[in-house]
Structure 1
Amino acid sequence: MSSAFDFDFFWGNFGFLLKLAAPFAVIMVSIYAVGKLLEVIIRAVKSKGSA
C-alpha cells in the first residue's frame, strides 16, 4: 500500500508547485486588492462631489 501512495514524493512536488505559484498568486491578489481600494475611493469621491 505504501508504494501506491508515496506521500513524500507527493508533498515534495506539491511544495515545489506551491513555491513556484505563490509569487504569482500574491501578485494577482495584490492587483485585485488595489483595484477594490481604488473603486472604494472613486465611489467616495463621486458621492462627496454630488452631495
Structure 2
Amino acid sequence: MREPSAHTVLSESQAARAHTVEVEASHAVSVSQPAAVTRLIEQAAHATTR
C-alpha cells in the first residue's frame, strides 16, 4: 500500500470539513505526544455535543 500524498490527505480532509492537527512526533503519536492527542480528542468530543 502506498502512503497518500500530503496533498491528497489535505484535499480529503477539506472535503469532509475535518479539523486536522500537525504534531512533531514519531509514528506512535499517542505515545510520544499524549497531551496533543488528548486535546484533539477533547475538542472533538466538545464539538459533537454542542
Identify the TM-score tier after normalising by the shorter chain. Answer: 0.3 to 0.5
Which is richer in helix? 1
Between 1 and 2, higher relative CO (CA 8 Å, sep ≥ 6) is seen in: 2
Please report the TM-score for the alignment, with normalisation by the length of structure 1: 0.37
Please report the TM-score for the alignment, with normalisation by the length of structure 2: 0.38
